[in-house]
């Protein structure tokens, strides 16, 4: 919601949004910094005095002054005593060089600087994080790092974390693997890049789920791989009868993304048989791991892979934080040397301190405890969300909520889910359009709502807001 929009020059409007978590000081600072770097606020031009701007925006003078101080710290403005504040004539970066075109990846992402928005998908609950043991794990990791010799770390990831992950996978996901099969990666995305490149899949084709995670589809296409969409039904993905078209399949068997069903046991064996017979490979995206909200989590597909055909990928993005950029890849035993060489040259694991913090957290028993708590919390949050949606939404909107960490709303086919999601996001509701998860023509129209950050106190008001947007 734009509460106050203030003209600074004829071209530049400064907007302050009071509904976000980003402080007003930061909003003013970032708005002006962007305008200066884009050249909208010209070099050598005078800014409104902070007193005037504060009055226009209805914020305190101190708030604006702090924003101006931040601009000055970055040498973007100069203060000339009583003559006021001026856009620097010697900018650290020339505005002319600041326009390489859009660089932020479009599509599935939200604003990188704010949030999470209400209903935002793919992020953990931020209010229930076990911050105390997490801080302790980091403090210990930093202390260990500070005294460690300055040598290159193992590009596969530190051995203690790989050992910890192998142990976790054995108990929680039924995977029996040697720690040398485990590679620490930059989340699922990093692991996917490693598999696609190390296995030289460029130029080949891959079966993907329809609907399926758009970032996976885009990553495959960007890597020169043709994607063949295979519809999922209530049993998950069922490969076509004639499967000669591809030797790779990328799947989410634990919790189909975004529809939430678990791959049935017949389909699991069918998929594994196909890979063994066709000299094929399966990438298992176990993004939500054991965060399956009802009953026991289904075992991973990799746990049933006796032919060494599955690349298993897990991520800490949903369980700890996407900001960690940490995930883990388990490769079949016959490929450990090949992957070891590949990551050593092109994709070494990230900062040791983060790896060590996660390892401390896991070995202290906090990770499993946290997962157990989150399973209960997310199930509760989902049920209050479903209840509120039932109260607020028009009966023509079909609500699906089994499986997954999301609720799916299916809209009449004449709806435009991209436009609806855009309007909703502008009002702080982080819903995603479901059509973006389909590759085929005339995709269903609908919305995905994440449950992790739903609260009993606010859920009715947010659902009412969504219902209003849907009705408009
Ligand atoms: C289907 C799916 N796979 C993987 C991920 C995690 O990706 P990453 O580990 O790169 O954050 C997500 C997160 O949104 C997801 O929805």
pLDDT digits (tens, 9 = 90+) for 299-324: 899 999 999 999 999 999 999 999 99
pLDDT value at 108 more than 60 = no
For the chain, give the percent of residues with pLDDT over 70: 94
- What distance in Å separates the CA atoms of residue 402 and residue 257, rounded to the nearest whole number? 12
Given a cut of 50, whether residue 1 has pLDDT beyond it is no
Residues of the chain with CATH 3.90.1150.10: 369-471
Delimiting residues of CATH 3.40.640.10 domain(s) in the chain: 131-364
Q: What is the torsional sign of CA 249, 255, 261, 265?
A: positive
Average pLDDT over residues 426-433: 92
Give exposure, 222-246, as e/b (b: 16+ Cβ within 10 Å). Answer: ebebebbbbebeebbbbbeeebeeb
Q: What is the pLDDT of residues 230-268, one digit of tens each?
A: 999 999 999 877 778 899 999 999 999 999 999 999 999
User: CATH assignment of 2-87, given 3.30.930.10, 1.10.10.10, 3.20.20.70, 2.60.40.10?
Assistant: 1.10.10.10
Encoded tokens for 458:
């606010």
Cβ of 406 less than 6 Å from ligand 1: no
Task: Tell me the C-alpha to C-alpha distance, in Å, between residue 370 and each of 133, 313, 363, 376.
Answer: 10, 20, 13, 10
Q: How far is CA 174 from CA 167, 254, 260, 312, in A?
A: 10, 12, 20, 12
pLDDT score of 75 more than 70: yes
For 369-471, CATH gives: 3.90.1150.10
CB distance 246 to 228 below 8 Å:
yes
Q: What is the pLDDT of residue 109?
A: 59
Confidence band of 3 (pLDDT split at 50, 70, 90) = very low
> What are the start-end ranges of the E strands in 34-137?
77-79, 85-87
Mutate to test the pocket of ligand 1, among 287, 347, 449 (most ligand atoms within 8 A of CB): 287
CA distance 122 to 453: 10
Question: Does the domain at residues 131-364 carry the CATH identifier 3.30.1490.190?
Answer: no
Low-confidence winner among 138-147, 241-250, 364-373 (lowest mean pLDDT): 241-250
For helices 131-147 and 366-392, the axis angle rounded to 10 degrees is 140
Structure tokens, 402: 């089994």
Nearest atom within ligand 1 for CA of residue 315: 9
User: From ligand 1's centre to the CA of 226, what distance in Å?
Assistant: 21
Q: Is the pLDDT of residue 390 over 50?
A: yes
pLDDT at 99: 57
pLDDT of residue 323: 94
Index of the ligand 1 atom closest to the CA of residue 252: 1
Ligand 1 atom 3, closest CA: 287
CB 125 within 8 A of CB 132: no
Instruction: Cite the residue boundaries of each domain of the chain with CATH code 1.10.10.10.
Output: 2-87
What helix, strand, coil percent values describe the chain, rounded to 5? 40, 15, 45
Q: Please give the model's pTM, rounded to 2 decimal places.
A: 0.84
Helices (H), 148-223: 159-172, 187-198, 214-222
Q: What is the mean pLDDT of residues 169-175?
A: 95
Find out whether the beta carbon of 328 lies less than 6 Å from any atom of ligand 1.
no
Q: Is the CB of 340 under 6 A from ligand 1?
A: no
Nearest Cα residue to atom 14 of ligand 1:
122
Residue 137 contacts residue 161 (beta carbons within 8 Å): no
Residue with tokens 């974390």: 161
């Amino acid at each position: 919601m734009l509460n106050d929009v203030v003209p600074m020059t004829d071209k530049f409007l400064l907007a302050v949004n009071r509904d976000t978590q980003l402080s007003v000081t930061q909003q003013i600072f970032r708005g002006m910094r962007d305008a200066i770097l884009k050249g909208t606020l010209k070099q050598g031009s005078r800014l409104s005095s902070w007193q005037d701007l504060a009055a226009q925006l209805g914020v305190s003078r101190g708030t604006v002054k702090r924003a101006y101080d931040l601009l000055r710290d970055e040498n973007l403005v100069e203060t000339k005593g009583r003559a006021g504040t001026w856009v620097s004539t010697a900018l650290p970066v020339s505005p002319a060089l600041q326009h390489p075109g859009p660089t932020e990846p479009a599509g599935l992402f939200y604003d990188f600087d704010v949030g999470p928005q209400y209903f935002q998908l793919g992020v953990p609950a931020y209010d229930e994080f076990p911050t105390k043991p997490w801080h302790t794990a980091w403090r210990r990791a930093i202390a260990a790092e500070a005294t460690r010799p300055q040598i290159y770390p193992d590009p596969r990831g530190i051995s203690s974390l790989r050992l910890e992950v192998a142990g976790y996978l054995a108990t929680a996901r039924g995977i029996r693997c040697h720690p040398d099969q485990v590679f620490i990666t930059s989340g699922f995305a990093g692991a996917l890049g490693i598999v696609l490149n190390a296995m030289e899949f460029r130029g080949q084709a891959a079966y993907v789920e329809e609907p399926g995670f758009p970032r996976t589809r885009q990553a495959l296409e960007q890597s020169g791989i043709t994607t063949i969409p295979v519809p999922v039904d209530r049993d998950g993905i069922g490969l076509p009868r004639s499967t000669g078209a591809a030797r790779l399949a990328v799947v989410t068997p634990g919790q189909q993304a975004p529809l939430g069903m678990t791959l049935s046991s017949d389909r699991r064996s069918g998929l594994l048989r196909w890979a063994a017979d066709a000299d094929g490979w399966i990438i298992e995206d176990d993004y939500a791991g054991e965060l399956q909200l009802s009953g026991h989590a289904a075992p991973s597909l990799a746990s049933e892979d006796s032919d060494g055909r599955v690349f298993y990928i897990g991520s800490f993005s949903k369980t700890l934080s996407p900001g960690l950029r940490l995930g883990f890849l388990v490769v079949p035993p016959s490929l450990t040397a090949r992957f070891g060489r590949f990551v050593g040259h092109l994709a070494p694991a990230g900062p040791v301190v983060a790896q060590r913090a996660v390892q401390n957290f896991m070995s202290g028993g906090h990770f499993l405890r946290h997962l157990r708590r989150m399973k209960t919390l997310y199930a509760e949050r989902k049920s209050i969300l479903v209840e509120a949606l039932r109260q607020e939404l028009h009966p023509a909107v079909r609500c699906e909520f089994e499986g997954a960490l999301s609720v799916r709303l299916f809209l009449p086919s004449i709806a435009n889910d991209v436009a609806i999601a855009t309007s909703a996001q502008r009002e702080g509701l982080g819903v995603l359009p479901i059509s973006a998860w389909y590759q085929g023509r005339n995709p269903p129209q609908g919305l995905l709502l994440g449950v992790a950050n739903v609260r009993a106190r606010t859920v009715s008001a947010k659902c009412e807001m969504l219902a209003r947007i849907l009705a408009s």
